[in-house]
Structure 1
Amino acid sequence: MNDKLDEAKRMIPKAPQRVVTIEDDAALAAFVAGLADRDWIAVDTEFLRERTYYPKLCLVQIADTDHIGLIDVLALSDLTPLAGLLTDARVRKVFHSAEQDLEVLYQSFGTMPAPIFDTQVAAPLLGFDDQMGYARLVEALLDKKLPKGHTRTDWSHRPLPDGALDYAADDVRYLAVAYPMLRETLAAADRLDWLAGDFERMVEPDRFDVDTRAAWRRIKAWNRLAPVAQQVLAELADWREREAMAADRPRRWILADAPLIAIAESQPTRDIDLADTPDLPVRTLERHGDALLNCVARGLTRPAEVLDPNAGPPDEATRRRIKTGMRALARAAEAADIPPAAVASRADVAAIVAGRRDGRLLRGWRAEVAGRAVVEAVESARTDAARGC
């Protein structure tokens, strides 16, 4: 594997240098038209979400092998050509760590960019670390050290600070070089097709459709509550999520976690009791007091059950089987020269121990590399335990 990668490094193509900033609709249409015959483009986004529920798209960077376009979304009135390019099935969109980019593009255009390639997902199949950052990958592949800075830039501000556009351009400049290297090396190792299923699942729209009924999962301390309080919390979290979405404001601006948990615990039924909630802002009480009391009332009518019975710590026997499965995963991943974390997580192994056979570890290349070995190890441990070995 390393030999194939070293060979690819000896033929590193030149990075695109020509950069154009696109600030009017005609320029966008012309830029997109020039990419119509490309097989792939490198894509990155800059956005802001500190003051909103939904991420606010500010800049889209696109590169091919020759040039880079910095698309100032905030300056444009017609983004139809951009949306068309990103959803064109003939053009593969290359990202690094695509999750947040896909979310902001889906929320902005109502449709998912596809097909895609994610260099962060692909790199571990060539022996790189799992979840490797863009700068580290560029340095490892291209021996190019990217300057740090602008990670806290307010991309909605105009004009942008000095150096910000150069920083944004670099995010696709070297991605356009790294992608062909990774693709060709994976193809030579017969691993390129392994990624198809992963990339298809990454662009399933329901991954980014919010289920407000499951909003309680975002609250870290939910499982410390009594079952009745958990049910009240689920109603409160559902309400808060819907309010945040409707107002397009961060959920913490609607109501922070601490008072949400306090209400779930105290379960007030009157305004005067609700007013005693620690850290509950007076303005929130005035605006949403009735809604909060209604959430409590609905929660108290629900069955007093734990929200997720499987969320607690496993018993000793289960922990031993998970440990056995993790050892099998590590051995199989090492044999394939892939970081174990890129193959599966502890939660994936725990699902197999629990008897589930529908997880990602038993699909596609993961099943071939490690999934079957993990199942065999877990079942063997279960049999040995039953025999008293």
Structure 2
Amino acid sequence: MNDSHTADFQWVTHSDDLSQLALQWRSLDALFIDTEFHREKTFYPELALIQIFDGQHCYLIEPVAADHCPPFIELLTLESLRKVFHSASEDCEVLYRRFGCRLVNLWDTQIAAAYLGDGLNLGYAAMIQKYCDHTLEKGATRSDWLQRPLSAQQLQYAIDDVLYLGKAYQQQMKLTQSLPNSESWVTQDCEQLAARVDELDDIESAYLDIKNGWKLSNRQLQRLKNLVEWRERLARERDVPKSFVLKNDVLFTLAHKGLLNDQRLPDITNWHPASKRRYSEAIIHILKQPYDEALQVKAPLSPKFWQEYTHKLQQAKDVVASVAQTLGFEPDVICSKKLLRRYASFLLGFSNQPPRGWTSLREQYLGEQLHSIFQE
């Protein structure tokens, strides 16, 4: 790899040029990719820049050049080409929203770092310091990436984000050779990460993300579900953050209290006046919908519920710790506490399918023992 990154930097502004590059890149083993985007005041992320390092040269790509460039979009789903990112969840979303495709053969260096003993959420700068012994300048992190021209500081930041990513990846691949099966674990977790885009518009289950939903009755849960689905659709329609429509704690209070005397909204001190003026009529209409006694809304499991399974959860954690030690990984890497509870709720019959993130390797190494604990 070439260390002279500024000399190799090339702008790509036309789809014809990008098409030629994409055809060349098809023969590579890996591409090192990052994106810059804005979404502070929008629901949908606005892609501002795509950075690529191909092992020799760095490219800064204007998103408009990729919009009508089938060879580039096909590259993102090419099985034979590994796409290397760091902390790729938002990159997966922004590329899916822009180009309508799910990344195939993704390698997330943050996930890989966790399996290599560097913690669950190793930042990019810390990773480069560790693997490349180089200190990155991060001053442009929150700058305006939609502006043109980009500043010299932004250009350097954008280039460094993929140049050193390639070097870190090479170090990781050497290290994975000393940990049997580590590459397989990373690969499966990256596949799961890429697949999360399928759930981005799962509006019907969004109410389950509201804190303290387990405290609500079935009547109140029906209100909450209706309010959340309305907010999800409106945020998408107007392309504004969900909190700009209605914050979660306000949603919860509205669902909990309902209408006073069946006609007046309750007083909520932290409800923004502009939001209240704009959406009161629609919210009243939702809250006036009749209660359906025959409809049982799925409720989140309460902390009290899990207290009854304290002993079994501890047994399960011990299993995870034992397997992790055998494999040479940290316990939270192969099965976090959150994932363990979700899998336990599946085993206990509160979910119809294993949770997202429960890979075939987790089932292979943990499934049988966890089944025996929760289904005895």
Same-fold status (TM-score > 0.5) = yes
Give a deviation string over 1:294-345, Cα, whole Å, max 9, x none.
3213363355856425243335441122122213322332332211111001
Query: Which residue of structure 1 aligns with residue 303 of structure 2?
Result: 312
1:215 CA displacement: 2.1
User: Residue 99 of structure 1 is aligned with which of 86, 89, 96?
Assistant: 89
Query: Which residue of structure 1 aligns with residue 361 of structure 2?
Result: 365
Give a deviation string over 1:85-138, Cα, whole Å, max 9, x none.
222333221111111111110011011121211122222333332222222222
Query: Which residue of structure 2 aligns with residue 350 of structure 1?
Result: 341
Q: Structure 1: which 5+ runs fail to align?
A: 1-12, 384-389
Return closer, same or farther for 1:302/1:175 CA change in 2, 3 Å cut-off.
farther
Alpha-carbon contact 1:269-1:293 (below 8 Å) kept: no
Query: Which residue of structure 2 aligns with residue 292 of structure 1?
Result: 283
Query: Which residue of structure 1 aligns with residue 31 of structure 2?
Result: 41
1:173 CA displacement: 0.7
Report 1:119-138 matches (<5 A): 119-138=109-128
Query: Which residue of structure 2 aligns with residue 177 of structure 1?
Result: 167
Distance across 2 between alignment mates of 1:335 and 1:214? 37
User: How many correspondences in the alignment?
Assistant: 368
Structure 2 residue identity aligned to 1:83:
I
Give a deviation string over 1:140-165, Cα, whole Å, max 9, x none.
22222222322211222233344012
Distance across 1 between alignment mates of 2:318 and 2:73? 45
1:38 CA displacement: 1.4
Distance across 1 between alignment mates of 2:85 and 2:283? 42
Report 1:191-270 matches (<5 A): 191=181, 192-204=183-195, 207-268=198-259
Report 1:102-113 matches (<5 A): 102-113=92-103
Query: Which residue of structure 2 aligns with residue 301 of structure 1?
Result: 292
Alpha-carbon contact 2:10-2:58 (below 8 Å) kept: yes
Alpha-carbon contact 2:320-2:331 (below 8 Å) kept: yes
Alpha-carbon contact 1:233-1:299 (below 8 Å) kept: no
Distance across 2 between alignment mates of 1:277 and 1:299? 23
1:363 CA displacement: 4.3
Alpha-carbon contact 2:189-2:357 (below 8 Å) kept: no
* TM-score where L is the length of structure 1: 0.82
Distance across 1 between alignment mates of 2:67 and 2:119? 41
Alpha-carbon contact 2:102-2:197 (below 8 Å) kept: no
Return closer, same or farther for 1:133/1:262 CA change in 2, 3 Å cut-off.
same
User: Residue 333 of structure 1 is aligned with which of 308, 324, 331?
Assistant: 324
Give a deviation string over 1:28-79, Cα, whole Å, max 9, x none.
3343344232121011111111111111111111111101111122577644
1:202 CA displacement: 2.7
1:16 CA displacement: 6.4
Query: Which residue of structure 2 aligns with residue 7 of structure 1?
Result: none
Distance across 2 between alignment mates of 1:188 and 1:79? 40
Alignment partner of 1:274: what SS? Answer: coil
Alignment partner of 2:102: what SS? Answer: coil
RMSD across aligned C-alpha pairs, in angstroms? Answer: 3.1
Query: Which residue of structure 2 aligns with residue 31 of structure 1?
Result: 21
Distance across 1 between alignment mates of 2:37 and 2:321? 37
Identity %: 28
Alpha-carbon contact 2:259-2:265 (below 8 Å) kept: yes
1:270 CA displacement: 8.4
Distance across 2 between alignment mates of 1:228 and 1:299? 9
Alpha-carbon contact 1:329-1:374 (below 8 Å) kept: no
Distance across 2 between alignment mates of 1:352 and 1:209? 21
Structure 2 residue identity aligned to 1:213:
E
